[in-house]
Chains A and B, each alone.
Chain A
Amino acid sequence: MSAGHIQINNIKKIFARADLNSTLLVLDEVSLDIRPGEFVSLVGTSGCGKSTLLRIIAGLETATDGVALCDGEPINGTNPKRGLVFQEHSLFPWLTVRENIAFGLRATKQYSFKKELVDALISMVGLEEFADSFPHQLSGGMQQRVALVRALAISPDVLLLDEPLGALDSFTRMVIQEELVRLWQERHNTMILITHDVDEAIYLSQRIFIMTPRPGRIIRELTLNMSYPRNRSDSAFVDIRNIILKQLHFATDTHEDYNL
């Protein structure tokens, strides 16, 4: 597959803070080049601008300066080719689980021939019993799982994942991580994942970008050549984890005299 090439060149994002009569620099000269079908992760401390970057790629936010391209075209508004799984509860409260998942299929006129896909996705995340429940009847983790498969349903070329598994227990999280790898290997779509869980980033991605605290900049890029499925207790795995944690630590702390 050749679709799903994301190029970010020197992007800057400044937010207006109308109430404080000031502005806030959130992203500073961020550049990325993500190949079609690549799985990458963004890690960085809270508030460094990860969600903002993802929203720019999704087309929900425009960059103050710099260009964002998808397959060579400037990103201008949303497109179902670039799906986004939101960080926070984003289900439509007036639709059942099944209808939430079907929303994108209906919007892109695929529902009539992809009805079974909805059921397959529901069972993929283990929510068969809740298919006809409304979102307020689900736990936070269940809602996240629905939001994840809702975005998967329309098979976007680029899937933007903003901490999609944050509310899950570690066991369910591992199960879904495996599913994600399987789906990705099947579909070869581009995946851009934001996560606070360093292990998750290492388990899933081919490249990891580490960001500085606000204003967000990319300070380090790690390429992981381990084959899938990965082993979390592997020595390479552990080494990379240490590198990332160290980098994140230095990124948050100005004192560099700390010994690991």
Chain B
Amino acid sequence: MTSGANPLPTLWELKEMESKPKTRMARLFDRIICALPILAAALELLQYKLRPNFRNFTTTDAYTVFVSFFAVLILGLFVASFFSKRAFEKLRAQSPLYTVVFLLFAAYDHATLKTGLLPLPYFPWPDRILNAIIDDRVLLLDCIGNSLQLLFLGYIFGAAAGLLTGVSAGWSRSIRYWVMPLIRILGPIPSTTWLPIILIVAASLFGGSVFLIALGVWYPVTMTSMNGVQNIRKANFEVARTLGASNARLVFRVAVPSAMPYIFQGLTQGMSVACTALMVAEMMGVESGLGWYINWQRGWAEFAKMYAAIIVICLTFTVVNMALTLIRKRVLRWQEGGAGV
């Protein structure tokens, strides 16, 4: 409903209008910062290709391709940043981090491959770790699949059970009466404490591990959802009741959605507990998955493969947590100022 002569600005134009104008010097400085990661990557590539290696250390082109790949991506973004404000903002914010990452790679390469300051076999250089991932990719993928399966099974059971006990305990005083002692006793014990018992008692190790992870997730989800339901403004229930809501509707359409910010705190906490429990379970008993892989390679003193597995674990968990954050942002989009409690 604006006049044709003076249309409303887009979101990006608005941001620009509301931000302070920058001086010529500041703009130049921004461009330099944006170029830094590319320089750092080039530096590392030069070192890798041109500097002689320590002793008879051999290398492949896998690492060259790896570094070049990211360098080219950033270069693309750099070019785009001259045309798109959005690309520029993104690159300007991320550049310092990318630069430091490349420099860290360079420093590590220097300390291992180029000078041997950090000795083999404990400190393989990046190219070796990269090759370990590539060589063992089939097994690693298989391990990722197994780990994720175990993780999600345990997480889903734990979260569902936690929601059930938490919401019902938050809702009903008499259920709280019975759930509270359980929480008090089980809560402070890390779920992995039960592992030795589970190893003996559980019919299948897989089932036992699912239980272990579920138990670890159950506790934080129960606590936060109970808390969330108890903290709901009374007025929300009163309004819903005057509009004819049944008790079931009060629980599922009022209590649960308005406790969601709390519940997501528990779900996030639960995810980190689940990841820990997963690793412990896989290292101690379950004969598959990334945790098992690390332990197994340790037996062979395959350090490059151990590092490879650690990197894969790190990437896997990062992706899982990013997915959780996305879901949370989507579910909590009604909150003022985004999805923070």
**Interface flag for B94 (CB, 8 Å):** no
When distances are taken between beta carbons in the complex, the residues of chain A under 8 Å from B246 are: 107
B243 and A151 contacting across the interface, CB-CB below 8 Å: yes
Q: Known: A93-B258, A94-B258. Is A78-B241 also a contact (CB below 8 A)?
A: yes
- Which interface residue of B238, B239, B243, B336 has the most chain A CB atoms within 10 A? B243
**Interface flag for B249 (CB, 8 Å):** yes
B242 and A82 contacting across the interface, CB-CB below 8 Å: yes
When distances are taken between beta carbons in the complex, the residues of chain A under 8 Å from B148 are: none
| Nearest CB in chain A to that of B241: its residue | A78
Using a Cβ–Cβ cut-off of 8 Å, how many residues does chain B contribute to the interface with A? Answer: 22
A60 and B241 contacting across the interface, CB-CB below 8 Å: yes
| Nearest CB in chain A to that of B249: its residue | A107
Closest Cβ of chain A to B332, distance in Å, is 8
B235 and A90 contacting across the interface, CB-CB below 8 Å: yes
A88, A96, A107, A134: which contacts B244 (Cβ < 8 A)? Answer: A107
Q: Mark B326-340, 1 if CB is under 8 A from A, else 0.
A: 000000011110000
**Interface flag for A80 (CB, 8 Å):** yes
**Interface flag for B245 (CB, 8 Å):** yes
Q: Mark A78-118, 1 if CB is under 8 A from B, else 0.
A: 11101110101010111110000001100110000000000
A107 and B235 contacting across the interface, CB-CB below 8 Å: no
Closest Cβ of chain A to B248, distance in Å, is 10
Interface bin, chain A: 20 to 34
Residues from 58 to 92 in A contacting B, C-beta threshold 8 Å: 58-60, 77-80, 82-84, 86, 88, 90, 92
**Interface flag for B236 (CB, 8 Å):** yes
When distances are taken between beta carbons in the complex, the residues of chain B under 8 Å from A77 are: 241
Q: Mark A20-43, 1 if CB is under 8 A from B, else 0.
A: 000000000000000000000000
**Interface flag for A150 (CB, 8 Å):** yes
Closest Cβ of chain A to B4, distance in Å, is 18
When distances are taken between beta carbons in the complex, the residues of chain A under 8 Å from B249 are: 107
A104, A129, A134: which contacts B243 (Cβ < 8 A)? Answer: A104
Q: Known: A94-B334, A107-B249. Is A83-B235 also a contact (CB below 8 A)?
A: no
**Interface flag for B254 (CB, 8 Å):** yes
| Nearest CB in chain B to that of A89: its residue | B235
**Interface flag for A165 (CB, 8 Å):** no
**Interface flag for B283 (CB, 8 Å):** no
**Interface flag for B187 (CB, 8 Å):** no
| Nearest CB in chain B to that of A90: its residue | B239
In the complex, what distance in Å separates the CA atom of A92 from the CA atom of B254? 8
B243 and A95 contacting across the interface, CB-CB below 8 Å: no
**Interface flag for B260 (CB, 8 Å):** yes
| Nearest CB in chain B to that of A81: its residue | B244
| Nearest CB in chain B to that of A133: its residue | B334
B242 and A80 contacting across the interface, CB-CB below 8 Å: yes
**Interface flag for A136 (CB, 8 Å):** yes
**Interface flag for A154 (CB, 8 Å):** yes
**Interface flag for B240 (CB, 8 Å):** yes
In the complex, what distance in Å separates the CA atom of A149 from the CA atom of B260? 26
A83 and B260 contacting across the interface, CB-CB below 8 Å: no
Q: Known: A86-B239, A92-B236. Is A108-B257 also a contact (CB below 8 A)?
A: no
- Which interface residue of A59, A86, A93 has the most chain B CB atoms within 10 A? A93
| Nearest CB in chain B to that of A135: its residue | B334
A80 and B239 contacting across the interface, CB-CB below 8 Å: no
When distances are taken between beta carbons in the complex, the residues of chain B under 8 Å from A58 are: 242
Q: Mark B222-255, 1 if CB is under 8 A from A, else 0.
A: 0000000000000110111111111001000110
Q: Known: A94-B257, A94-B260. Is A104-B334 also a contact (CB below 8 A)?
A: no
In the complex, what distance in Å separates the CA atom of A136 from the CA atom of B334? 8
When distances are taken between beta carbons in the complex, the residues of chain A under 8 Å from B235 are: 86, 88, 90
B238 and A60 contacting across the interface, CB-CB below 8 Å: yes
When distances are taken between beta carbons in the complex, the residues of chain A under 8 Å from B253 are: 103, 107
Residues from 122 to 138 in A contacting B, C-beta threshold 8 Å: 129, 134-136
A78 and B258 contacting across the interface, CB-CB below 8 Å: no
In the complex, what distance in Å separates the CA atom of A86 from the CA atom of B243? 12
When distances are taken between beta carbons in the complex, the residues of chain A under 8 Å from B260 are: 94
Closest Cβ of chain A to B94, distance in Å, is 30
B236 and A136 contacting across the interface, CB-CB below 8 Å: no
Q: Can you list 6 A-B contacts (CB < 8 A)? A: A60-B238, A90-B239, A95-B257, A134-B333, A135-B334, A151-B243
Known: A58-B242, A107-B243. 7 other contacts (CB 8 A): A60-B238, A80-B243, A90-B236, A93-B258, A95-B257, A107-B246, A108-B243
Residues of chain B having any CB pair with chain A under 8 Å = 1, 235-236, 238-246, 249, 253-254, 257-258, 260, 333-336
Residues of chain A having any CB pair with chain B under 8 Å = 58-60, 77-80, 82-84, 86, 88, 90, 92-96, 103-104, 107-108, 129, 134-136, 150-151, 154
Q: Which 8 A-B pairs have the closest CB atoms?
A: A80-B244, A104-B243, A136-B336, A78-B241, A108-B244, A107-B245, A107-B244, A134-B334
